[in-house]
């Protein structure tokens, strides 16, 4: 029945990916078709998190008796997949046609198609049994969202760091001014001993601390889920075996205690958005960091952050049945494969670029970026393809976020590549989504902010106790 869900070929086809079928176009076409039928039924989705907060998303689908009702299943499953990784949740309410609830229950089961999400959201993140509840739209709980202020503190002497899977960055910030920044290549995902991570992080913090009279606070960002400064899930520690993960889980508490100052670490996407909000002096900012993976973060129109996950790396943006498969989640067409160095490496062979296997990912990316700077036609097609992805991706994200600004940064935006992504993305928005182009500004920070802006913004996270 999923074949009933129609895909739409984009007007702007990525030069190296002719099979790309944007999620936003398929969803809009589906909703237009439902509206044209004159008999749509409400579908209300609720996602409950561990703190009892609830997100709601309301849409329309075909009634179960409609000849096109089969399209509901794929539409609803991809929608819920996106919402789970954007907002998070251990319990999903499916308020609508029973056939949709039944399908979602089967997909998000211990051995279902989305078994990775079942175990990840339930056991790993929220430490509860993941549950799908099929009900009437009126039975979905009311929305209960929580937000909080994040960072923006620049008093005292601070350290800020950003931990990527290819490089780690640190800044020393003295009373609001970054006086030292350093970027070092490392490969944390391949390491099985958490002491490696501890030594590397301590080394960079001590190097930055040496530039300050003393340290009052430390703020950090990294890919993954962090609760109360404890590691829940993080790709940085993917190589650490389960029987030693407790050492990684409390690593940042250990570092905090050794420095004897407040330390706060949050998801790197949140710091991306914070960096954008601080530099733009405005809110309603979605930050997208194109690094070893995709990091997403959001600052609300009120200038706060939500309790959402914003793990857009695993939220689908391409509905093509031939979309590439993510090695970790096993799903196709998710953001990490379109907005990160994984995308660059995926497209390189199609661009006629051979990359040696025996070098680090950072070296691989630099090799391909050097070709772009030298005018290599294939390399240019890689970043033009990423620009197409970005244009349709931003339009898709705008269906789930209230946006005034989108900030793109990270190692993949360095050099000419960033401007190529920006130019093509704006062209897509202006011609495919003119209403969005009029109200959303896409920003590419200067080179310094792109490379170390997150570590500087991260320094502003902790509050310094009054003495």
Does residue 127 contact residue 39 with C-beta atoms inside 8 Å?
no
| Same domain flag for 127 and 185 | no
Residue 463 is assigned to a structural domain of this protein? no
φ, ψ at 335 (rounded to 5°): -55, -35
| Same domain flag for 133 and 194 | no
φ, ψ at 189 (rounded to 5°): -70, -20
Q: Across the chain, what does the average pLDDT equal?
A: 93
pLDDT at residue number 447: 58
pLDDT band at residue 280 using 50, 70 and 90 as cut-offs: confident
| Same domain flag for 284 and 172 | no
Tell me the CATH number at 278. Answer: 3.30.420.40
| Same domain flag for 164 and 133 | no
SS3 readout for the chain: CHHHCCCCCCCCCCCCCCCCCEHHHHHHHHHHHHHHHCCCEEEEEEEECCCCCEEEEEEEECCCCCCCCCHHHHHHHHHHHHHHHHHCCCEEEEECCHHHHHHHHHHCCCCCCCHHHHHHHHHHHHCCCCEEEEECHHHCCCCECCEECCCCCCCCEEEEEEECCCEEEEEEEECCEEEEEEEEECCHHHCCCHHHHHHHHHHHHHHHHCCCCCCCEEEEEECCEEECCEEEECHHHCCCCHHHHHHHHCHHHHHHHHHCCCEEEEEHHHHHHHHHHHHHCCCCEEEEEECCCEEEEEECCCCCEECCCCCHHHCECECCCCCCECCCCCCECEHHHCCCHHHHHHHCHHHCCCCCCCCCHHHHHHHHHHHHHCCCHHHHHHHHHHHHHHHHHHHHHCCCCCCCEEEEECHHHCCHHHHHHHHHHHHHHHHHCHHHHHHCEEECCCHHHHHHHHHHHHCCCCCCCCC
| Same domain flag for 351 and 225 | no
Q: What are the tokens at 448? A: 């310094």
Whether residue 153 is predicted with pLDDT greater than 80 in this model: the reply is yes
Chain centroid offset of residue 15 CA: 24
| Same domain flag for 156 and 179 | yes
pLDDT, tens digit, 9 for 90 and up, residues 369-386: 999 999 999 999 999 999
Whether residue 291 is predicted with pLDDT greater than 80 in this model: the reply is yes
Lowest mean pLDDT among 218-222, 274-278, 285-289: 274-278
Give the pLDDT mean for 44-51.
94
Give the pLDDT mean for 420-440.
98
Whether residue 434 is predicted with pLDDT greater than 70 in this model: the reply is yes
Last-in-domain residue among 214, 248, 267: 267
Residue 467 is assigned to a structural domain of this protein? no
* Cα separation, 64 vs 103, whole angstroms: 13
pLDDT at residue number 1: 43
Q: Name the residue range of residue 383's domain.
A: 271-455
* Cα separation, 95 vs 139, whole angstroms: 7
* Cα separation, 85 vs 67, whole angstroms: 31
Residue 6 is assigned to a structural domain of this protein? no
Give the pLDDT mean for 270-274.
84
pLDDT at residue number 452: 53
* Cα separation, 84 vs 359, whole angstroms: 35
Residue 462 is assigned to a structural domain of this protein? no
Whether residue 2 is predicted with pLDDT greater than 50 in this model: the reply is no
The number of beta carbons lying within 10 Å of the beta carbon of residue 116 is: 16
Of the candidates 345, 317, 342, which has an alpha carbon nearest to the alpha carbon of residue 328?
A: 342
Whether residue 363 is predicted with pLDDT greater than 80 in this model: the reply is yes
pLDDT, tens digit, 9 for 90 and up, residues 407-424: 998 889 999 999 999 999
pLDDT at residue number 449: 54
Quote the percentage of the chain above a pLDDT of 70: 98
Residue 464 is assigned to a structural domain of this protein? no
Residue 204 is assigned to a structural domain of this protein? yes
φ, ψ at 172 (rounded to 5°): -105, 125
| Same domain flag for 447 and 334 | yes
Residue 94 is assigned to a structural domain of this protein? yes
| Same domain flag for 246 and 386 | no
pLDDT, tens digit, 9 for 90 and up, residues 71-89: 999 999 999 999 999 999 9
Give the pLDDT mean for 457-465.
90
Last-in-domain residue among 222, 250, 267: 267
* Cα separation, 372 vs 220, whole angstroms: 32
Exposure string of 395-408, with b = 16+ CB inside 10 Å and e = fewer, is bbbbbbbebebbbb
| Same domain flag for 318 and 431 | yes
Give the pLDDT mean for 269-279.
83
As for how many domains the chain has, the answer is 3
* Cα separation, 314 vs 82, whole angstroms: 8
Last-in-domain residue among 145, 170, 194: 145
pLDDT at residue number 448: 52
Residue 4 is assigned to a structural domain of this protein? no
Pick the more confident residue, 411 or 69: 69
Whether residue 240 is predicted with pLDDT greater than 60 in this model: the reply is yes
| Same domain flag for 156 and 85 | no
Does residue 72 contact residue 99 with C-beta atoms inside 8 Å?
yes
464: Cβ contacts below 8 Å, ≥ 6 apart: 153, 155, 156, 216, 217, 262
pLDDT, tens digit, 9 for 90 and up, residues 189-220: 889 999 999 999 999 999 999 999 999 999 99
| Same domain flag for 338 and 391 | yes
Q: What are the tokens at 181? A: 């920044």
Q: What are the tokens at 74? A: 């794929």
Give the pLDDT mean for 257-277.
89
pLDDT at residue number 202: 97
Q: What are the tokens at 463? A: 């509050």
| Same domain flag for 315 and 447 | yes
The number of beta carbons lying within 10 Å of the beta carbon of residue 355 is: 15
């Amino acid at each position: 029945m999923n074949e009933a869900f129609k895909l739409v070929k984009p007007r702007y086809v990525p030069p190296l990916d002719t099979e790309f079928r944007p999620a936003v176009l398929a969803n809009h076409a589906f909703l237009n078709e439902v509206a044209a039928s004159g008999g749509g039924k409400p579908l209300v989705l609720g996602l409950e998190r561990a703190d009892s907060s609830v997100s709601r998303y309301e849409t329309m689908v075909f009634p179960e008796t409609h000849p096109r009702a089969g399209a509901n299943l794929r539409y609803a499953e991809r929608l819920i997949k996106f919402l789970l990784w954007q907002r998070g949740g251990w319990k999903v309410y499916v308020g609508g046609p029973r056939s949709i609830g039944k399908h979602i229950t089967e997909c998000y089961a211990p051995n279902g198609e989305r078994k990775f999400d079942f175990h990840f959201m339930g056991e790993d993140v929220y430490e509860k049994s993941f549950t799908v509840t099929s009900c009437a739209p009126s039975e979905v709980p009311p929305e209960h969202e929580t937000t909080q202020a994040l960072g923006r503190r620049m008093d005292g002497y601070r350290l800020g760091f950003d931990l990527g899977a290819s490089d780690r960055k640190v800044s020393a910030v003295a009373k609001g001014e970054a006086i030292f920044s350093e970027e070092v290549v490392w490969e944390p995902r391949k390491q099985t001993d958490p002491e490696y991570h501890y030594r590397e992080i301590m080394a960079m913090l001590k190097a930055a601390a040496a530039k300050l009279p003393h340290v009052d606070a430390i703020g950090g960002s990294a890919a993954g889920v962090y609760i109360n400064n404890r590691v829940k899930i993080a790709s940085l520690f993917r190589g650490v075996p389960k029987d030693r993960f407790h050492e990684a889980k409390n690593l940042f508490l250990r570092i905090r205690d050794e420095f004897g100052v407040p330390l706060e670490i949050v998801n790197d996407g949140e710091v991306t958005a914070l960096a954008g909000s601080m530099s733009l002096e405005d809110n309603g900012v979605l930050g997208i960091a194109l690094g070893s993976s995709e990091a997403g973060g959001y600052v609300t129109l009120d200038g706060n952050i939500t309790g959402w996950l914003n793990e857009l790396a695993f939220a689908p943006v391409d509905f093509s049945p031939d979309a590439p498969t993510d090695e970790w989640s096993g799903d196709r067409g998710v953001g990490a494969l379109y907005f990160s160095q994984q995308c660059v490496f995926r497209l390189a062979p199609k661009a006629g670029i051979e990359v040696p296997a025996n070098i680090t990912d950072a070296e691989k990316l630099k090799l391909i970026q050097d070709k772009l700077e030298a005018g290599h036609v294939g390399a240019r097609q890689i970043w033009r393809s990423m620009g197409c992805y970005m244009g349709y991706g931003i339009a898709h994200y705008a269906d789930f976020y209230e946006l005034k600004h989108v900030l793109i940064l990270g190692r993949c935006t360095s050099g000419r590549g960033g401007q190529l992504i920006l130019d093509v993305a704006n062209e897509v928005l202006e011609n495919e989504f003119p209403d969005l182009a009029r109200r959303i500004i896409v920003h590419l920070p200067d080179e310094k902010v792109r490379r170390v802006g997150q570590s500087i913004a991260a320094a502003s996270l902790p509050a310094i106790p009054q003495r």
